[in-house]
Amino acid sequence: MKIHVTDQDGKQHELEALEGWRVMEVIRDWDLNIKAECGGSCACATCHVYVDPDWLQKLAPATDEEEDMLDTVGDVEDNSRLSCQILMSDDLDGLKITLAASAAKDEQAA
Amino acid sequence: MSGNEIVTDVVVIGAGPVGLFAVFELGLLDLKCHLIDILDRPGGQCAELYPEKPIYDIPGFPVVTGQALTDNLMQQIEPFGPEFHFNRMVNSIEKLEDGSFRLVTDADEVFLTKVVVVAAGGGSFQPKRPPVPGIEEYEGKSVFYSVRQMEAFRGEDLVIVGGGDSALDWTLNLAPLAKSVTLVHRRDDFRAAPASVNEMRALVAKGEVDLKIGQIAGLDGENGQLSAVRLKTADGEISVPATRLLPFFGLTMKLGPVADWGLELNDNLIAVDTEEFSTSIPGIFAIGDINHYPGKLKLILSGFHEGALMAQAAKRIVNPGERVVFQYTTSSTKLQKKLGVV
């Protein structure tokens, strides 16, 4: 199964995903620009993504915990989600998402 | 410069699980430690980000929370009397002629130490900066991520952003002082303590605080002096007159000043030699999530192992020429005496 990810620079990537993996883990495994600071504990919001509107309804709704974490970033849109809270399944084969600016890793040290 | 220089064998930067366990390993070798952490308590990321979430891969604990692990480590290192310096960040490290180090914190404390152990995990926790173009030029002049002196905000037009306790607490505390307070949150649902939320809503009802549901879209001003904050709301973009902006979006981890210490880095992590977890500067060690070497696994378990090997090397630096006899805590009465169990 695949997911389609547009990174912060607008570049598109087609990533191989595995059932049961968190979308955050897939993006991190492919070394795209995602900080994912807390490692999937829904405790940091540094895996913030925008879900393509066509796919939004296929996801389980955000929990209160996820909404609380989304409060901690300044670039939330109606289609914002934390990618660590989206579990890959057959239904999500072909999922389209865009990485939020607030999910980017820190600038590389000189 | 401070007249109070603290002289010690080892300064450990970072009081997360790995930094705490390093104190144990160093203590067994009679090395005295001071720990410096940017947070206000021990535990690091474990205690800050997920104190109540279970961890399943600590040897001997089928399950333990981040806070319980921290509490146990604090108990384990108590015999060695480590001294903690919280709410501090190490700004600079200077190598002295005799090979020791002089560290200065952001509170101007000075440490003289023979060994430095960087156990800073993902870096230091720093306030999250909202992704607003040009916000940097206002920081420290009109944009503040914390309130050190309330008086500095007297008579100002404040915009406070966030839905957690910090945003609500400062809304309540600064409302009587400020010329105006506008609280901005992306939704009309708050994560803060219910009593604070109720108090805030009462101030809104009285017209003493203006509540806007939306997000920051941009800043207007000149030379770092803010004049208005533009907000994106459901009704479109609006402009709120503002001389000070206080965003409270929580904390994130950044490498921080470590990047400027002249250590060899690899993708924002400190490169180490796995024989003793030494860095490119002799006398500075790096253990835990902040280091990099081939095959590195970012596990608390790995950091514990790294701390044990580091301590042996640190001992040779602090007490050169002294023979280090490797001993087990199960059989060595010397070690057991240090631990206070015999």
Please name the residue of chain B whose CA is at the shortest distance from the CA of residue A101: B131
Under a CB-based contact definition with an 8 Å cutoff, are residues A66 and A81 in contact?
yes
CA of residue B340 relative to chain centroid, distance: 31
Q: How far apart are CA B128 and CA A103, in angstroms?
A: 11
Q: How far apart are CA B309 and CA B299, in angstroms?
A: 16
Residue for token pair 């060690």: B285
pLDDT in tens, B300-323: 999 999 999 999 999 999 999 998
Q: Which of A46, A76, A109 sits opposite B215 (nearest CB)?
A: A76
Rounded (10°) angle between helices B17-28 and B300-318:
40
Query: Between chains, do B250 and A72 touch, taking CB under 8 Å as contact?
Result: yes
Dihedral in degrees, nearest 10, Cα atoms B186, A32, B19, B146: -30
Under a CB-based contact definition with an 8 Å cutoff, are residues B249 and B163 in contact?
no
Please name the residue of chain B whose CA is at the shortest distance from the CA of residue A108: B268
**Residue B36: CA atoms inside 13 Å, Cβ hemisphere, count?**
26
pLDDT in tens, B43-99: 998 888 778 888 999 999 999 999 999 999 999 999 999 999 999 999 999 999 999
Q: Does A43 touch chain B (CB under 8 A)?
A: yes
Q: How far apart are CA B73 and CA B273, in angstroms?
A: 26
Q: What percentage of chain A carries pLDDT values higher than 70? A: 96
Tell me the C-alpha to C-alpha distance, in Å, between residue B203 and each of A99, B36, B72, B183.
Answer: 38, 40, 44, 11
Neighboring chain A residues of B161 at a CB cutoff of 8 Å: 74
| pLDDT value, residue A45 | 94
SS3 label, residue A58: coil
Beta-sheet pairing, B83-85 with A48-51: unpaired
Neighboring chain A residues of B259 at a CB cutoff of 8 Å: 109-110
Looking at the complex, report in whole angstroms how far the Cα of residue B162 sits from the nearest Cα belonging to chain A: 7
Please name the residue of chain A whose CA is at the shortest distance from the CA of residue B270: A109
Neighboring chain A residues of B252 at a CB cutoff of 8 Å: 35, 37, 44, 46
Neighboring chain A residues of B45 at a CB cutoff of 8 Å: 38
Q: Is the dihedral of CA B17, B19, B20, B24 positive or negative?
A: positive
CB atoms within 10 A of CB B334: 13
Backbone dihedral angles phi then psi of residue B338, each to the nearest 5 degrees: -60, -35
Query: Between chains, do B49 and A37 touch, taking CB under 8 Å as contact?
Result: yes
Q: Which of A74, A106, A109 sits opposite B130 (nearest CB)?
A: A74
pLDDT in tens, B206-250: 999 999 999 999 999 999 999 999 999 999 999 999 999 999 998
Residue B146 DSSP class: S
CB atoms within 10 A of CB B204: 15
Q: How far apart are CA B310 and CA B275, in angstroms?
A: 8
Query: Between chains, do A74 and B122 touch, taking CB under 8 Å as contact?
Result: no
Whether B2 shows a pLDDT value over 60: the answer reads no
Query: Between chains, do A67 and B189 touch, taking CB under 8 Å as contact?
Result: yes
pTM of the complete model: 0.82
Neighboring chain A residues of B132 at a CB cutoff of 8 Å: 74
